[in-house]
């Protein structure tokens, strides 16, 4: 059984998606449809500078667009997944692909999500860092001395991301280094998936009241619960709302997918971050980057 996994914020690079646009008819259709709802998306993806692309209000719509373009290009190549999951922002693309959200609604939603999170990030200056080579319990225990820092992304064995005030993140990373531990600062503009995003989460809940949702066409695994999304509208909206200010339970999500029969994962979107994480979670499953499929590499993974 196959699952598509949709890349999240942080995967963005200047020129992203141009190859897809030029080579895949279905990908081109996605770009043109998004362009109608979010004018300028093609310019942002293809021509913007790194600095412009790294602004959350630009990053999220661009990553969302390339995620969906890659997914439909793989579908165009003849592969359809039984399940989908998206990392953070990627979950909105997964919901659109599974037709939980109408395409135009998903475009509007991702733009609003970006706007709200960008605003919270400006008002509450924060950052994120990936803690490497430490167990969950060790990370959680070590955070007790830091007022603002929260563990927010449980990515894979030996990689947990923390969010907090910028100055405290810097101090925390320096303290880890003194103790022979490693951490890497992430290229994001705020303390996402933490209480720093409470206001954005609340406002997203209000915004969602005007949206209609549909029962998922396939299992969409939730960052919030690490389980498939519920079928009912209230449950779907609650997951979308709370996903903004709660941890991403990625390792648990992948393990749950594998336990239910998924043995092949295809990362759709920019970069190969999820390929790497899944390989560390369970090396027995097959993991492909979407270009492996489009380039017909005979089943050989470049992840």
Catalytic residues: 88, 193
**Virtual torsion, Cα 238, 239, 243, 246, nearest 10 deg:** 80
- DSSP calls for 141-207: HHGGG-SS-EEEEEEETTEEEEEEEHHHHHHHHHHHHHTT-EEEE-S-SS-TTSGGGHHHHHHHHHH
Pairing of strands 219-221, 182-185: unpaired
**Virtual torsion, Cα 275, 276, 277, 282, nearest 10 deg:** 90
Pairing of strands 219-221, 264-268: unpaired
Q: Are 229 and 216 in contact (CB under 8 A)?
A: yes
Q: Identify the CA nearest to 100 among candidates 223, 224, 228.
A: 228
β-sheet bridge partners, residue 127: 164
Strand ranges, E, within the chain: 2-6, 83-86, 126-132, 150-156, 159-165, 182-185, 219-221, 264-268, 286-289
Greatest alpha-carbon span in the chain: 53
Q: Are 84 and 3 in contact (CB under 8 A)?
A: yes
How far apart CA 269 and CA 4 sit, in angstroms, is: 10
Q: Are 158 and 280 in contact (CB under 8 A)?
A: yes
């Amino acid at each position: 059984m196959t699952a598509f996994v949709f890349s999240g914020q942080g995967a963005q690079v200047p020129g992203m998606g141009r190859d897809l646009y030029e080579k895949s008819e279905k990908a081109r259709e996605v770009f043109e449809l998004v362009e109608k709802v979010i004018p300028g998306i093609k310019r942002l993806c293809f021509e913007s500078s790194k600095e412009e692309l790294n602004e959350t209000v630009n990053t999220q719509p661009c990553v969302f667009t390339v995620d969906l373009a890659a997914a439909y290009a793989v579908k165009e190549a003849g592969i359809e997944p039984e399940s989908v999951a998206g990392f953070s922002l990627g979950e909105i693309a997964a919901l659109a692909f599974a037709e939980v959200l109408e395409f135009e609604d998903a475009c509007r939603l991702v733009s609003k999500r970006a706007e709200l999170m960008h605003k919270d990030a400006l008002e509450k200056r924060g950052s994120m860092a990936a803690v490497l080579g430490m167990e969950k319990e060790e990370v959680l225990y070590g955070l007790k001395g830091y007022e603002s820092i929260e563990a927010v992304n449980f990515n894979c064995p030996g990689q947990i991301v923390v969010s907090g005030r910028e100055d405290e993140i810097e101090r925390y990373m320096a303290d880890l280094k003194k103790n022979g531990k490693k951490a890497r600062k992430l290229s994001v503009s705020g303390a996402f998936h933490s209480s720093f995003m409470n206001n954005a989460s609340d406002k997203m809940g209000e915004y969602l009241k005007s949206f209609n949702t549909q029962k998922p066409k396939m299992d969409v695994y939730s960052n919030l619960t690490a389980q498939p999304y519920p079928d009912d509208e209230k449950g779907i909206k609650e997951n979308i709302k709370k996903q903004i200010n709660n941890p991403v339970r990625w390792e648990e999500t992948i393990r749950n997918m594998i336990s239910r029969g998924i043995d092949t994962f295809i990362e759709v979107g920019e970069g190969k971050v999820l390929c790497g994480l899944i390989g560390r979670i369970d090396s027995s499953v097959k993991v492909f980057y979407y270009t492996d499929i489009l380039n017909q590499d005979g089943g050989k993974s470049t992840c």
